[in-house]
A and B are shown apart, each in its own frame.
Chain A
Amino acid sequence: DGGITQSPKYLFRKEGQNVTLSCEQNLNHDAMYWYRQDPGQGLRLIYYSQIVNDFQKGDIAEGYSVSREKKESFPLTVTSAQKNPTAFYLCASSTWTGQELDTQYFGPGTRLTVL
């Protein structure tokens, strides 16, 4: 079955700790994305990557970091610099032809709570 997996599903973190959220896809998609969703609000883009070894900041990148060493994987690190990290984190992927983006497909999400 092709799809996007995220782990863990739930994550608890103490203040001051860095945590890394995993995102893996086997859809052979070039582009991958990280979003954050707060209760009752829409999705906000944190980072995105259209090709391996390249990524761009989204609208709320401060306090986050990413890497894209493999096409299938796009892990997100939530650093201690992120002031309000408790949220639902969604990873997505899409095809990218170099000119056009296609529909995004989402993983099941990671719910991060800072204690």
Chain B
Amino acid sequence: RKEVEQDPGPFNVPEGATVAFNCTYSNSASQSFFWYRQDCRKEPKLLMSVYSSGNEDGRFTAQLNRASQYISLLIRDSKLSDSATYLCVVILYNFNKFYFGSGTKLNVKP
């Protein structure tokens, strides 16, 4: 079983739509969580950290559900420029390891 799993998509949505991705993790000892964005043929870039209480950054909202072991990313009012692959990342401090999901591809269409 993979440490971190994501629906690969693609999610095809029109501009202005709201879209949500989930990411599940297998190890309950996981301690830090992040969402990264990766454009085609580019490096991943940090989008936002995910805090236990949930957090928002403009049109983006991240949430953590420890009981069910998943994190989510909600994008409101999608823009064409939001088209990318979104990676979730989990840190296990006990093992000094980062675990990356394979990513969810988002296509925002005019």
Q: Which of A's residues lie within 8 Å of B, judged by CB? A: 33, 35, 40-43, 45, 50, 88, 90, 96, 99-101, 103-109, 111
User: Could you tell me the dominant secondary structure of chain A's interface residues?
Assistant: strand
The reply to whether A107 and B43 contact each other, CB–CB distance below 8 Å, is yes
B44 CB contact (under 8 Å) in A43, A45, A101: A43
**A101 and B102 contact, CB distance less than 8 A:** no
Cβ contact within 8 Å between A42 and B100: yes
Of B52-60, B70-78, B91-99, the one with at least 4 CB within 8 A of chain A: B91-99
What are 15 A-B interface contacts by the 8 Å CB criterion?
A: A40-B8, A42-B103, A43-B87, A88-B41, A90-B44, A101-B96, A101-B98, A103-B49, A104-B89, A105-B46, A106-B44, A107-B43, A108-B43, A109-B43, A111-B41
Q: How far is the CA of A102 from the CA of B103 in the complex (A)?
A: 20
